[in-house]
Amino acid sequence: MEPLTWTGNMGDTLDPILGITLAALLMTSLLAITLSFFTTAERLSVNPDGTLAAQPGLGGLATRAQTYALRAFVATLVAYIVTGMVVGWQGGGIVGGVMQAFTPVWISLTALFVASFAFKRRLGLYGKLFDSTIGMIGFGLVMFWVFTAIWAGLFDMIATHDPLTQVSGMKNKVPGTPLRGAEDGDYPFYLLGGDNLARDVFSRMVLGSTIVMQIAPLATLFAFMVGITLGLPAGYYGGLLDTVLSFMANLILAFPVILLFYLLVTPEIVQTGLPNYMAMILFLAPLVFFGVLINSRYRTQPATRNLYLGAAMAVGLVLYLSLISDQSSRIALFRLWPSALDLFDISGQVLIVFVSVVFVNSPTVFRIVRGLTLDIKTRDYVAAAQTRGETPWYIMLWEILPNARGPLIVDFCLRIGYTTILLGTLGFFGLGLPPESPDWGSTINEGRKLLSVYPHPAIAPALALLSLVLGLNLLADGLREESLRD
């Protein structure tokens, strides 16, 4: 079987179109930037009746041409995706095979965007996101990897091979190399080549997204729970409580992040059980947060409050015990929860990384929440709530926190990106996650050793990491832009 070319037969038509549209986009962008220094986007003219009319100037015409070129370029990329989904590697080469493998993701993205556009006026800030081109692009990039993680991790789709399987003769093979000794039912190619251990680079890149999506968003969410639970009372009450909590946060932030991660995930620290004890403390924050949230909201309705609070605490306690339980731990305390009731089979190494991310991010979130609380607690609606006799926690959670949601949502998106980079850094240095893990950092580290000769094992996960972080940053910019319009 012959090796695949990059675009196969579909490239005979689409490659020249892509080249033309890309050249047009670059030329119109350069022209628009140049003319912006010398001309205005619009020029005014006087109508016969004495009124003024605005007509596009040279700068405006160049911007319009740039918009058309961008649309043509995007349409060409969509044509690659659609054609590749239909013809696969048989007619679309490597690109066609990759696009066909991602078919569930493309369908999910299309359904999500169609539904979002149809109901965007009813969806609040999320719906307004689709009025921002930057935010929409960022959202698309992020959801691409979210759907990839879902379809690859839960439904065992997209990946063409087992990410840990080594195939004889496929070591450092270039993209599109036929699989040696392929049997019926085997995918016949390594679409993005093989790494230095003869494993499929494409499948490792795809499965690497599941690790990022399992850790980064949830760890960031837990960090926000901790930061909000401590930051609200620190900013609202002030005094000694604020001084003590701020000192502890500053003490943690004084350590370099990478050094702190290194200390937390080293085997010597792990053997002491310190990360497990940290998990016991940090994972209590969601229980406290939701408990206080429900109690403050329904304190005047005891029957409803007891029902909701009991249900939330029962579910939360089971989840909490499942999270901190580690049957492989040498400490008896963490083996008390029965394995039959353990809802999460979290390895000790993943738990350590998770706890480390929460611990490192919580002080920064604390400082942001504290600063917002110091500002918002002086507003008139807070004074009105105090006059009504509302409890402090009601004011913090139902008056202050909702009005701080804009900056917090933006920071949440950015912090997931920071966490993704931190996970990649840990994997690159071989810390925390297992050595054979397909996480992007470990894959980049393995590929860099022969980067000058075989660049593909490192480039694929590096581009995946770059696209996710870029999407999160663009999404945060779009959310910030739309929140400022409220």
Give the residue among 428, 3, 468, 427 at the shortest CA–CA distance from 193. Answer: 3
- Among 2-6, 395-399, 478-482, name the one with the lowest average pLDDT: 478-482
If pLDDT is split at 50, 70 and 90, which confidence band does 52 have? low
Mean pLDDT of the 216-235 span: 93
**What is the phi-psi region of residue 266: left when phi exceeds 0, alpha when psi lies from -120 to 50, beta otherwise?**
beta
Determine contact, residues 272/264, Cβ cutoff 8 Å.
no
* pLDDT the model gives residue 466: 94
Confidence check: pLDDT of 151 > 80: yes
Span 414-447, pLDDT tens digits: 999 988 988 888 888 777 677 778 889 889 988 8
* pLDDT the model gives residue 428: 83
Confidence check: pLDDT of 198 > 70: yes
* pLDDT the model gives residue 484: 67
* pLDDT the model gives residue 59: 72
Whole-model pTM: value is 0.89
Span 314-341, pLDDT tens digits: 999 998 888 888 777 777 777 778 877 7
If pLDDT is split at 50, 70 and 90, which confidence band does 463 have? very high
Mean pLDDT score across all residues of the chain: 88
Which amino acid, 99? M
Which amino acid, 475? L
* pLDDT the model gives residue 326: 76
If pLDDT is split at 50, 70 and 90, which confidence band does 54 have? low
If pLDDT is split at 50, 70 and 90, which confidence band does 453 have? confident
Phi first, then psi: what are they for 194, rounded to 5°?
Answer: -115, 155
* pLDDT the model gives residue 227: 94
Burial class from Cβ neighbours inside 10 Å (0-12, 13-18, 19+) for residue 22 reads: middle
Measured distance between the N- and C-terminal CA atoms of the chain, rounded to whole angstroms:
59
Span 10-29, pLDDT tens digits: 999 999 999 999 999 999 99
